[in-house]
């Protein structure tokens, strides 16, 4: 799937890097396949940002950096959990759970991006959170529906996202949880807090 070229000049409000410099920094951290995914998330996130009136620039930066830490070694992530005093329960999980929570930390430390809303969008893009700003919701949903995603229900998720962002968050949260259980996969407890708030008690 081809991504539309995105013309976007950063204001320096969130990062001293240009968009091209940020893209290079991100690209150096991952496989080409994941990089294509990241560009897809940016494209979808910008479309959602236009629709739901969120800063295009903040959304672009959060999208480009959301998987920044996904290919770090388990060893590096485990060391980081100890050193930076993250919840030690995280050690029972893996990269899927770590890369958002720890990624926000690494994006701040290594790329100098300090905007809390952007960092929370990175932090929560996989497991969600009981409270999510519009920016966080946009990244959470864009990661699920970007053009490269192919799974049963993705077209329905795209339709929902175009009509009602909260409904898309609910759908994604519920489907993700059901998919984990169908496959006997371990569930990180915060995922249930997200579900209880967004799906069971919206």
> Based on CB atoms, which residue is closest to its own copies, 17 or 101?
101
34 by Cβ neighbours in 10 Å (0-12 / 13-18 / 19+) ranks as: middle
140 binds its own copies (CB under 8 A): no
Q: In a 3-state reduction of DSSP, which class is residue 68?
A: coil
Minimal distance, residue 161 CB to its own copies, in Å: 19
**Binds its own copies (CB under 8 A): choice among 8, 116, 162, 200:** 200
Cα distance between residue 84 and residue 147, in whole Å: 35
Write the DSSP string, 97-162.
Answer: HHHHHHHHHHHHHHH----HHHHHHHHTTTT--SS--HHHHHHHHHHHHSTT--STTHHHHHHHHH
Burial 131-141 (b: 16+ CB within 10 A, else e): ebbbbbbbbbb
| Residue 131 sits in the site that holds its own copies (CB under 8 A) | no
Nearest residue (CB) to its own copies, 13 versus 185: 185
Footprint (CB under 8 A) of its own copies, residues 160-199: 174, 177-178, 181-182, 184-187, 189, 192-193, 195-196, 199
Q: Does 152 bind its own copies (CB under 8 A)?
A: no
Task: Give the residue with the Cβ less far from its own copies, 4 or 186.
Answer: 186
- Per CB under 8 A, residues contacting its own copies are 174, 177-178, 181-182, 184-187, 189, 192-193, 195-196, 199-201
């Amino acid at each position: 799937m081809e991504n539309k070229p995105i013309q976007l000049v950063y204001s320096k409000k969130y990062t001293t890097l240009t968009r091209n410099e940020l893209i290079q920094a991100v690209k150096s951290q991952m496989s080409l396949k994941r990089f294509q995914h990241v560009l897809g998330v940016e494209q979808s996130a910008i479309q959602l940002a236009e629709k739901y009136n969120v800063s295009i620039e903040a959304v672009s930066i959060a999208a480009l950096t959301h998987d920044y830490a996904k290919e770090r070694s388990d060893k590096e992530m485990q060391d980081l959990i100890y050193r930076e005093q993250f919840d030690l329960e995280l050690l029972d999980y893996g990269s899927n759970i770590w890369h958002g929570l720890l990624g926000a930390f690494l994006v701040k430390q290594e790329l100098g991006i300090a905007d809390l809303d952007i960092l929370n969008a990175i932090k929560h893009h996989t497991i969600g959170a009981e409270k999510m700003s519009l920016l966080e919701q946009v990244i959470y949903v864009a990661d699920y529906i970007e053009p490269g995603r192919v799974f049963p229900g993705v077209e329905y998720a795209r339709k929902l996202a175009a009509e009602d962002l909260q409904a898309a968050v609910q759908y994604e949260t519920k489907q993700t949880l059901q998919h984990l259980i169908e496959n006997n996969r371990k569930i990180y407890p915060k995922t249930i807090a997200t579900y209880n708030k967004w799906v069971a008690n919206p």
